[in-house]
Amino acid sequence: MSIARAERLPARPWAARFVKPEALTGYGLISPAVFLMMVLLAYPFVLAVYISLSDRVLGEPGKFIWLGNFLKLLQDSLFLQTVWNSFVYTLSTVFLKLVLGLLLALLLNQEFPCRNMVRGALLLPWIVPTSLSVLTWLWMFDSLFSVVNYILLGLGLISRKIPWLGDPFWAMVSVIIVNTWRGLPFFAVSILAGLMTIPRELYEAAETDGARAPRQFWHITLPLLQPVIAVVVLFSTIWTFADFQIVYILTHGGPINATQIFATMAYDIALVAGRIGEGSAISLFLFPALLVVIILMLRYLRRE
Amino acid sequence: MRKKKHGSVHTGGDGTISRRKFLGVTAGATAALSFGTFIRSGLGAAKINVLTWSNTLNAMDDTLREQAKQYTKEKGVEVSFEFINQSDLPTKTAAAVESGAGPDIITTWSDGAHLFDKALIDVSDVTGSLGKQLKGWTNIAKDIGIVGKVWKTVPWGIIPIIVVYRSDWLEEVGYRKFPDTYDEMLVMAKKLKDKGHPVGFALGRAIGDGNQSHYPMLWAFGGAEVKKDGKTVAINSPETAKAVDYRRKLYQAGETEDILSWDDSSNNRAFLAEALSVTGNAASIYWAEQKNAPHLRKVTNHALWPKGPAGRFGYSTAMGLGIFKFSKFQKEAKAFITWLIQPKQYSAWIGVGEGQIAGLANYYEDDPVWKKDSKLEVVREIPKYVRMPGYPGPPSRPAAEAMVKYVIVNMFARAAKGMSTAETIKIAEQELKEIYGKA
Amino acid sequence: MRRKRLRTIRRIFGLYLPLAAFLFFALFPFYWMLISSFKANPELYNLRANRLWIKNPTLEQFQELFKRTAILQWLWNSFFVSFLTAMISLALGIMAGYALARLKFPGAQAFGLATFITYLVPTTLIFIPLTRVVQALGLSNSIWSLVVTYPTFLVPFCTWMLIAYFKSIPKDMEECAMIDGCSRIGAMVRIVLPMAIPGVIFSAMFSFTLSWNEFVYALTFISSTTHKTMSVAVPTELIRGDAYFWGELMAASLVGSVPVALLYSFFMDYFVSGLTAGALKG
């Protein structure tokens, strides 16, 4: 059809001789976005990659050292701990968010009074600025005034206060709790949206075949939710690996480096100690791996 | 740079009509915007921007704002201060250094001048004339200010970190004065804790209090992270072991276990909530009591850090004012800094601070502020004992990195949590070798 | 009879109780924010006081906040930047999304992949080189630096979301319109866009929220108090020296949270239906 149109309009500008008009419109439509991303995203990103391949420190140009930073990092005990922490943090929060989010979505998909209000209220943790809400959690985990301990002690669930941010184990638990708190609504609402697109008839048909609720869940709900879950998990994994604010505000990576993750370590090394080459290498460390994961995921989704 | 950018806008359009139109509009708008900025900054009178931290006391910042206004009135040079919380200061500084744009005057935090000295201009003329006028600079001023052979930052002030204690509880266990040595302090701490009044020195990620309480402890027992050359790692020594043993004992006998989770603000709160008898902090607790707990102010007092076998030490954040090379108003900035550190302005500022800030020129040791309140008298002695991380070597990038990575604090923290002395020192040694090996 | 009771019990344990638990988890921090901001300092820092209730409610913290800081200005800045960037990103996202969903041209796939990969670029890293670009554009310390940079992470998102929407709209209608003499762009604006309204609103809200949340760029590009946005101004201006003024901080957090909460309460229906209508079908 586009060819027919082109024939009808002989007096096209010169460009039409080389490019089909449809493509022309296409380029026209994406050009503002491309332009913006080239200047403000691609260019700085390429610079950042370049910096990560140099031994640059603040205010000095530095030498190009290829993969020197990355190789050195592999022998850095603190960095190896950071890698471990980052994986623990990301995998456990994504897992928690997925399980709880699925559960919450199933609840929210039922009929009950004030449903929209409840849905809105549950969304709050996700829409409120992180820099503000995490401050609230910091105050809730305060070593002396912790309201969480106050409640747990009051209910008799614990006999002595939990050192939330003061113990390597509990500090990790704390940042995981807060990340789950913040990310859960995104999972729940996205999965809810997926649930709402599943046709009722499928369940009705299953009912007549005598399938009970658990079987319906395993054989209808879950398979049909798979694409949604894949997208949500992918997004969340990427975001969590790059997460900065929650850990930075709550623990600064402590105590004894127990919660040091990629972004906070990169911050400390690049900005506070001034080694921006090495710092950039830290924050780019996972880039190649994530890139591969993303491309594989996109392939999978496109096939679906 | 500016020109190049616009060039890329035009060549970037590879020939489509709608797109070119759009690009034209964008480029025009960008040009107009940047031209506007150009006019504002380039053709107007000198305007100096200063980036600094928000002091705990509002009033101190207000004083600086007032003085800036006064300066504008007197000299016709506009000065504006930007105040920001200390933990976000490195981000802004790094952005300025890397982009070659930002404030004219930057507050160098501790070893800041050593970290990005290449971005700062030589201010030896300013420090030279001020030094002559103000009876010379203290050692710590020289430590933070001189990089190689030249002054890269004008020493501005130090935030003295001292021992803050509850005199009534000390009396309860039989102490009229704060003990003079670490060993005596340990004995006292046990008595205090048995009475339900634990002591506490931050072992969490408190970039200020944590480091500032523990470097002095290490040094007082004779330990050090490097040799005098600033290169050879020397943490693994019997002296360090003594300090670590001491730290474990102090934690077990006399401290609240909260210290592992403390950030810089926690001990302030605990002290004000009457849950803490002794801590290491700035004079900010004493100040806060004025408003929130006047009854505590009467029983709060300050002391110097205790002595150890190797002597008395301290580590406090010292600040300087550096001028960026990219500043268009370097001469004006120098004049302003000189003016700001003149007794008339400077005494007014530290006077408002009531011990929050001490001067770095010898002249200010006799500042009237220290005579206002006898409880603050010890504060003025602090600059004498203060050393920087990396001591006995000079301040350096590896030393700063070791501090950011909490190598020393974590060494003590692991011991407090029960790790053996030899093991925790070995970890610290390993970390330090990695850090110093990079230099 | 017994059956009915059984159903009620199942409903309580299967729905209401778990839902209540989730609500408690999600909302408790806001309750804590609320009561902390209405307490005066002596009560706030009293270990013996009941921490879950307010004995002497006071507006002290708010008064101090409004008197001493430019909080209304910060709110306005946040709103201005978020609204404008949401609109810009939406416009660019609609154009690019439509092109990718409907038009065939070489490089379209590569562009689609590129939009996705942008999520991998950590802001904690690129803000340093980006500062240079912002400086070269002459936008340092201007609210416009945010208006220009925020779309970099919003446009990919809007594009991605809207592709899915546009794909779910049947092609026949616009083809009919085009045979009747409507141009491609005309068909897009008049036929497709109105049908994608839920997706458009959803993307706008999402973009607005992300802008409202943004921290690192706003911290590095903006210096003057009067140009700061809420999410940066509160921590940088209210945490002073080695002290957190919790009462004021909580009051300010509350003020910064309410506008977005209100926005969502108005548009909640659109949000859920927007998501449902196909955004996540990829």
The tally of domains found in chain B comes to 2
User: Is the CB of residue C234 less than 8 Å away from at least one CB of chain A?
Assistant: yes
Residue A135 in tokens: 């401050």
Furthest C-alpha separation in chain B: 89
CATH of the domain at A292: 1.10.3720.10
What's the helix, strand, coil split of chain B in %, to 5? Answer: 55, 15, 30
Q: Which domain holds residue B430?
A: 162-315+388-437
pLDDT band at B415 (very low <50, low <70, confident <90, very high): very high
Residue B353 in tokens: 């601070």
Q: Is residue B12 part of a domain?
A: no
Domain termination site, one of B385, B402, B425: B385
User: Is the CB of residue C155 less than 8 Å away from at least one CB of chain A?
Assistant: yes
B81-134: pLDDT as tens digits? 999 888 888 888 988 898 888 899 999 988 889 989 999 999 999 999 999 999
pLDDT band at A16 (very low <50, low <70, confident <90, very high): low
CA B219 – CA B216 distance, rounded (Å): 5
Q: Please name the residue ranges forming H helices in chain A.
A: 2-8, 21-37, 43-52, 68-73, 77-108, 115-127, 130-140, 147-154, 168-196, 200-208, 213-216, 222-241, 245-250, 262-267, 276-284, 287-303
User: Is the CB of residue C219 less than 8 Å away from at least one CB of chain B?
Assistant: yes
User: Is the CB of residue C110 less than 8 Å away from at least one CB of chain A?
Assistant: no
CA B225 – CA B221 distance, rounded (Å): 12
Stated length of chain C: 282
Of B35, B88, B101, the CB nearest to C140: B101
B224-275: pLDDT as tens digits? 999 999 999 999 999 999 999 999 999 999 999 889 888 888 899 899 989 9
Got the DSSP string for A210-252?
T--HHHHIIIIIHHHHHHHHHHHHHHHHHHHHT--HHHHHHTT
User: Is the CB of residue A13 less than 8 Å away from at least one CB of chain B?
Assistant: yes
Same domain, yes or no: B71 and B109: yes
How many angstroms away from the CA of C92 is the closest CA of chain A? 6
CA C29 – CA B153 distance, rounded (Å): 44
Tell the residue number behind the tokens 């990695």, with chain if given. B434
Same domain, yes or no: B281 and B429: yes
User: Average pLDDT for residues A90-104, to the nearest whole number?
Assistant: 96
Residue C276 clears pLDDT 90, i.e. is over it: no
C-alpha distances in angstroms, C77 versus C66, C71, C231, C239?
16, 10, 11, 20
Q: Determine if the peptide bond prior to B392 is cis (ω within 30°).
A: yes
Contact B270 A274 (CB under 8 A): no
Same domain, yes or no: B114 and B256: no
CA B207 – CA B224 distance, rounded (Å): 19
Looking at the DSSP bridge assignments, the partners of residue B79 are: B48
Residue B158, helix vs strand vs coil: strand
Residue A171: its chain B contacts at CB < 8 A?
Answer: 261
User: Is the CB of residue A105 less than 8 Å away from at least one CB of chain C?
Assistant: no
How many angstroms away from the CA of B200 is the closest CA of chain A? 12
| Phi (first) and psi of residue B155, to 5 degrees | -55, 130
Q: Is residue A186 part of a domain?
A: yes
Looking at the DSSP bridge assignments, the partners of residue A127 are: none
pLDDT band at B436 (very low <50, low <70, confident <90, very high): very high
User: Is the CB of residue C261 less than 8 Å away from at least one CB of chain A?
Assistant: yes
Looking at the DSSP bridge assignments, the partners of residue B105 are: B50, B323
Tell the residue number behind the tokens 């201009």, with chain if given. B121
How many angstroms away from the CA of C260 is the closest CA of chain B? 25
Whether the Cβ atoms of residue C149 and residue C216 lie closer than 8 Å to each other:
no
User: Is the CB of residue A155 less than 8 Å away from at least one CB of chain C?
Assistant: no
Q: Is residue A191 part of a domain?
A: yes
Chain B residue with minimum CA distance to C241: B56
Residue B197: its chain C contacts at CB < 8 A?
Answer: none
Looking at the DSSP bridge assignments, the partners of residue B200 are: B279
pLDDT band at A140 (very low <50, low <70, confident <90, very high): very high
Got the DSSP string for C113-139?
HHHHHGGGS-HHHHHHHHHHHHHHTT-
Q: Is residue A6 part of a domain?
A: no
Based on its alpha-carbon atoms, the radius of gyration of chain C, rounded to whole angstroms, reads 24
Looking at the DSSP bridge assignments, the partners of residue B317 are: B159
Output the pLDDT for position C277: 58
CA B269 – CA B293 distance, rounded (Å): 11
The tally of domains found in chain A comes to 1
Residue C278 clears pLDDT 80, i.e. is over it: no
Output the pLDDT for position C4: 84
Contact A272 B400 (CB under 8 A): yes
C-alpha distances in angstroms, C80 versus A36, A276, B395, C89, C208?
20, 33, 45, 14, 10
Q: Is residue A148 part of a domain?
A: yes
Best mutation target among A146, A174, A272 (most B Cβ atoms within 10 Å) is A272
Q: Is residue B335 part of a domain?
A: yes
C-alpha distances in angstroms, B303 versus A283, B160, B284, B306?
43, 11, 14, 8
User: Is the CB of residue A107 less than 8 Å away from at least one CB of chain C?
Assistant: yes
Residue window 178-237, chain B: list those with CB within 8 Å of chain A: 203-205, 207
CA C178 – CA C172 distance, rounded (Å): 10
User: Is the CB of residue B327 less than 8 Å away from at least one CB of chain C?
Assistant: no
C144-161: pLDDT as tens digits? 999 999 999 899 889 988
How many angstroms away from the CA of C157 is the closest CA of chain A? 11
Residue C234: its chain A contacts at CB < 8 A?
Answer: 131-132, 135
pLDDT band at B196 (very low <50, low <70, confident <90, very high): very high
Chains in contact with chain B (at least 3 beta-carbon pairs closer than 8 A) = A, C
Q: Determine if the peptide bond prior to A227 is cis (ω within 30°).
A: no
Chains in contact with chain C (at least 3 beta-carbon pairs closer than 8 A) = A, B
Chain B residue with minimum CA distance to C127: B95
Q: Virtual CA dihedral for C94, C96, C101, C105, nearest 10 degrees?
A: 150
Burial pattern A190-209, b for ≥16 Cβ within 10 A else e, equals bbbbbbeeeeeeeeeebeee
Tell the residue number behind the tokens 């900005």, with chain if given. A271
Q: How many CB atoms lie within 10 A of CB C170?
A: 9
CATH of the domain at B208: 3.40.190.10
Residue A135: its chain C contacts at CB < 8 A?
Answer: 234-235, 244, 249-250, 253
Q: What is residue B274's DSSP assignment?
A: T
User: Is the CB of residue C183 less than 8 Å away from at least one CB of chain B?
Assistant: no
C-alpha distances in angstroms, B38 versus B2, B103, B256, C139, C227?
11, 16, 57, 10, 19
Same domain, yes or no: B200 and B243: yes
Contact A30 C184 (CB under 8 A): no
User: Is the CB of residue B314 less than 8 Å away from at least one CB of chain C?
Assistant: no
CA B186 – CA B250 distance, rounded (Å): 6
User: Is the CB of residue C241 less than 8 Å away from at least one CB of chain B?
Assistant: yes
CA A221 – CA A106 distance, rounded (Å): 10
Residue B92: its chain C contacts at CB < 8 A?
Answer: 219-220, 223
User: Average pLDDT for residues B198-222, to the nearest whole number?
Assistant: 91
Same domain, yes or no: B411 and B357: no
Q: Is residue A117 part of a domain?
A: yes
Residue C105, helix vs strand vs coil: coil
Of A26, A184, A266, the CB nearest to C103: A26
Q: Is residue A130 part of a domain?
A: yes
Architecture of the domain made up of C69-281: Orthogonal Bundle (1.10)
Output the pLDDT for position C279: 46
ipTM of the complex: 0.88
pLDDT band at B349 (very low <50, low <70, confident <90, very high): very high
Output the pLDDT for position A15: 52
Q: How far is CA B430 from the centre of its chain?
A: 27
User: Average pLDDT for residues A77-92, to the nearest whole number?
Assistant: 95
Of A139, A185, A298, the CB nearest to C246: A139
CB contacts < 8 A, A to C, total: 269
Sign, CA torsion B21/B23/B29/B31: negative
CA C108 – CA C103 distance, rounded (Å): 8
A198-250: pLDDT as tens digits? 888 888 888 888 888 888 888 888 888 888 888 889 889 988 998 898 998 89
Residue A112 in tokens: 């009950």
> Minimum mean pLDDT among B8-22, B77-91, C70-84: which range?
B8-22
User: Is the CB of residue A144 less than 8 Å away from at least one CB of chain B?
Assistant: yes
Same domain, yes or no: B309 and B325: no
Q: Which domain holds residue A276?
A: 71-303
pTM of the model: 0.87
CA C36 – CA B293 distance, rounded (Å): 19
Residue window 80-109, chain B: list those with CB within 8 Å of chain C: 80, 82-88, 91-92, 94-96, 98-103
How many angstroms away from the CA of C120 is the closest CA of chain A? 7
Tell the residue number behind the tokens 């989704």, with chain if given. A301
How many angstroms away from the CA of A255 is the closest CA of chain B? 6
Chain B residue with minimum CA distance to A44: B99
Contact C239 B56 (CB under 8 A): no
Same domain, yes or no: B236 and B372: no
Same domain, yes or no: B226 and B210: yes
Contact A274 B400 (CB under 8 A): yes
Chain C residue with minimum CA distance to A292: C117
Residues 6+ positions from B261 with CB-CB distance below 8 Å:
A141, A143, A163, A164, A165, A166, A167, A171, A255, B204
A109-131: pLDDT as tens digits? 888 888 878 888 898 999 899 99
Chain B residue with minimum CA distance to C141: B102
Domain range summary for chain C, segments of one domain joined by + = 2-58, 69-281
Average pLDDT, chain A: 87
Best mutation target among A20, A45, A69 (most C Cβ atoms within 10 Å) is A45
User: Is the CB of residue C273 less than 8 Å away from at least one CB of chain B?
Assistant: no
Output the pLDDT for position A167: 87
Same domain, yes or no: B291 and B326: no
Tell the residue number behind the tokens 């107007």, with chain if given. B44
How many angstroms away from the CA of B60 is the closest CA of chain C? 11
Chain C residue with minimum CA distance to A268: C124
